[in-house]
């Protein structure tokens, strides 16, 4: 009985952690307005195309935008300032997986 209780507890905790994991696809939906659904557009006609970037490059860029003071990057700062590190990681992982 103790083994069954332990197994049920482990499964329940696993389910909770999966449910709490940020959804990169859902979080990046607002990004698609400027970058395109498949992230192949130059946002506002001037940014680099993000499609094809590695997750680490996307993550680094998003983290940089959170702290930038450059006036021409304030749009991105506004978009990412409230994302947690876990959300940024999830977004980067999702976008980098788009083929």
Per-residue confidence in pLDDT tens, the chain, 99 aa? 555 554 444 444 444 444 568 999 999 999 999 999 999 999 999 899 999 999 999 999 999 999 888 887 888 999 999 999 999 999 999 999 998
CATH topology of domain 23-97: Cytochrome Bc1 Complex; Chain D, domain 2 (1.10.760)
Containing H/E element for 58? Answer: helix 55-67
> What distance lies between CA 8 and its chain's CA centroid?
31
Global pTM? 0.76
Tokens of 63: 């983290």
| Residue 56: other Cβ atoms inside 10 A | 12
């Amino acid at each position: 009985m103790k083994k069954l209780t332990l197994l049920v507890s482990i499964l329940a905790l696993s389910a909770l952690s999966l449910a709490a994991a940020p959804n990169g696809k859902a979080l990046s939906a607002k990004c698609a307005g400027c970058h395109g659904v498949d992230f192949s557009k130059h946002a506002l006609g001037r940014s680099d195309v993000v499609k094809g970037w590695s997750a680490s490059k996307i993550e680094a860029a998003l983290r940089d935008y959170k702290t930038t003071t450059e006036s021409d990057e304030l749009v991105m700062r506004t978009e990412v300032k409230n994302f947690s590190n876990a959300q940024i990681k999830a977004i980067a992982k999702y976008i980098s997986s788009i083929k």
